[in-house]
Structure 1
């Protein structure tokens, strides 16, 4: 029996990627969406997200959440803060180039910014140590936003399950940071009419340059910030599990909500910048299909 138009929308909408402001989460690729030549599919919306200020932060921030996903019939897509192109014609494999923007990290964390701490080197040691306890990024160098280039490969074990992987390079002030992710997703599990849930699990790896940039403390930073020196190596950075609930209100409107739990691992977890190795990000947004 053929599916209704709303159910078909739900199957396409499960892969909607939320552009979480200030998040360093890996770029995600939407599923291939076969369309007539010259056509496009576009979703846009707005919501809110509650997330840690940076990877390993104890304090959280609530931010506006823009939502954007566009797919063209030629395979090109824009999904949140990433863009790429599906090159495969196979129904069981997806692959292609990937471009993402890794967000800026200031003393206030990813995205936002607080006032600069001028003359911190003149503060007594006790004051600098107090600063590091209240904000471990105080005195740390700002890490600028950088474009990352790489690719993705996904393989469908069954129509409902797919293995995912991506590789991105270019993060950090020196642009030497490289990160890779492997994961698995269960797609569009229908709980009730108009309601679907997708679940995922993933591991993210990073090279030494990336981990040192975001979790290391060099001698100059240690003197300014009060954090101890730390020289981490590369390897497993974190493990994550997540779930997304999509509620299709009409053929054009959808409420999409997600929760993601992350645990830092390896040398990243042992960093003096890490206040809390386990964290949860939650978000909800309305999206409109054009």
Structure 2
């Protein structure tokens, strides 16, 4: 979720890209991933983007990727990925599906690490501890893509800004597609909206009285509700059977109380990445 220096040029194009993605999903055939054999993919590269969702400050970050897929005949498919987490797709439900998920919320540091060092924009906010996430996803595989709804909740309660935060939780719903543009090029797209409970909104966009006293931000207590609409576009070039290059763009538009937070510098943002991948 990293970005391309200011986002002014994205305020209108993000809507055009969203419309174009939906149109492509209706007219182009989807490409199903070949997951019949076990595989391990490792890679890395560079990402550029906002310090956090809604920030107007941008920086460069390392981009790391690890994914191991283990299909089985009777127990479904097991996937371990970084940074996504663990996934178990249950068997025997096609074209519908259910997956159990274990993810990771890295929290947030008041001094954010970047390739240039540490950014102090949030200094005084304090640190939000990391936590494991648990949840599930339901999906429906269609000729033009995959519709999905997934929800994740923190495995433990946390404190932030001198107050008890509780367990954060959010729900994502959208459509994911993959189009083979040629024998070596594949275009992936995902469009989804995110709903957050009050705790998750407070963790991302809230400012407690203690934090307001220590920073230049005013106290702010958002309610739970819709948080953002996000579009991801990715292009993968299979350079050799085991080597590939992938690049992508992620744009988001904040909605609801997230737009009005004193932490929000840009209501629309974007990020980009470029990785080299090796598949065993």
Question: TM range, normalised to the smaller chain?
Answer: 0.7 to 0.9
Q: Does 1:102 align with 2:102?
A: no
Alpha-carbon offset, residue 247 of structure 1:
0.3
Cα 1:147–1:110 shift into 2, 3 Å: farther
Of the candidates 76, 79, 95, which is equivalent to residue 77 of structure 1?
79
Of the candidates 122, 135, 138, which is equivalent to residue 153 of structure 1?
138
Of the candidates 116, 121, 125, which is equivalent to residue 140 of structure 1?
125
**TM-score by structure 2 length?**
0.79
Match of 1:177 in 2: 168
Match of 2:182 in 1: 192
For residues 111 and 154 of structure 2, the distance between their equivalents in structure 1, rounded to whole angstroms, comes to 22
- How many pairs were matched up? 238
Alpha-carbon offset, residue 80 of structure 1:
2.0
Residue deviations 1:186-234 (CA, integer Å, cap 9, x gap): 22x1223311111221101100011012211111111111211111100
Residue deviations 1:244-269 (CA, integer Å, cap 9, x gap): 10100011011011101011111111
Deviates more, 1:82-91 or 1:205-214: 82-91
**TM-score by structure 1 length?**
0.76
Of the candidates 238, 262, 266, which is equivalent to residue 272 of structure 1?
262
Alpha-carbon offset, residue 142 of structure 1:
0.9
CA contact (8 A) 2:217 2:262 kept: yes
Q: How does 1:1-290 map to 2 (within 5 A)?
A: 34-35=35-36, 40-74=38-72, 75-81=77-83, 82-109=85-112, 114=118, 135=121, 137-158=122-143, 160-170=144-154, 173=158, 174-187=165-178, 189-290=179-280
CA contact (8 A) 1:32 1:94 kept: no
Alpha-carbon RMSD: 2.3
Gaps of at least 5 residues in structure 2 are 3-31, 159-164
- Larger Rg, first or second structure (1 or 2): 1
Alpha-carbon offset, residue 167 of structure 1:
0.5
SS of the aligned residue for 1:192 comes to: coil
Deviates more, 1:229-238 or 1:70-79: 70-79
Gaps of at least 5 residues in structure 1 are 1-19, 22-30, 116-133
